[in-house]
Structure 1
Amino acid sequence: MFKTDKFKGTLTSSDEGEMKWIDRNSLSDYTLVSDFMDLLKVFDSDFYSEFMYERNKSGEDWLIRLY
Structure 2
Amino acid sequence: MSRSQATILTNMCLIEDGRGNIVMQIRDPKRYSWSGAALPGGHIEAHEGLVESVIREVKEETGLTIKSPKLVGMKHWYTTDDERYLVFLYRTSDFEGDLRSTEEGEVRWVAREKVVHMDLAYDMLNLLRVFEEDNLSELFYRERLENDFLREFW
TM-score (norm 1): 0.66
Distance in structure 2 (CA, Å) of the matches to 1:10 and 1:39:
25
Aligned pair partner of 2:114 in 17, 20, 26:
26
- Comparing both structures, which one devotes a greater share of its residues to strand? 2
Give the partner amino acid of 1:15: E
Q: What is the percentage of aligned positions where both structures have the same residue?
A: 31
Query: How many residues align structurally?
Result: 62
TM-score (norm 2): 0.34
- Comparing both structures, which one devotes a greater share of its residues to helix? 1
The list of structure 1 runs, each at least 4 consecutive aligned residues, that deviate by more than 6 angstroms after superposition, is none
SS at match of 2:104: coil
**How far off is 1:50 after superposition?**
2.1
Q: Are residues 65 and 10 of structure 1, via their aligned partners in 2, closer, same or farther at CA, if it must alter by over 3 Å? A: farther
SS at match of 2:96: coil
Q: Which runs of 5+ in 2 are unaligned?
A: 1-12, 19-92
Q: What whole-Å deviation, never above 9, does each CA across 1:3-30 have from its counterpart, x for those lacking one?
A: 4324432223222211111001212331
**Is contact 1:3–1:43 with CA below 8 Å preserved after alignment?**
no
Q: Are residues 2 and 8 of structure 1, via their aligned partners in 2, closer, same or farther at CA, if it must alter by over 3 Å? A: same
Distance in structure 1 (CA, Å) of the matches to 2:97 and 2:128:
24
Higher relative contact order (CA 8 A, sep 6+): 2
C-alpha RMSD of the superposition: 2.1
Give the partner amino acid of 1:65: F
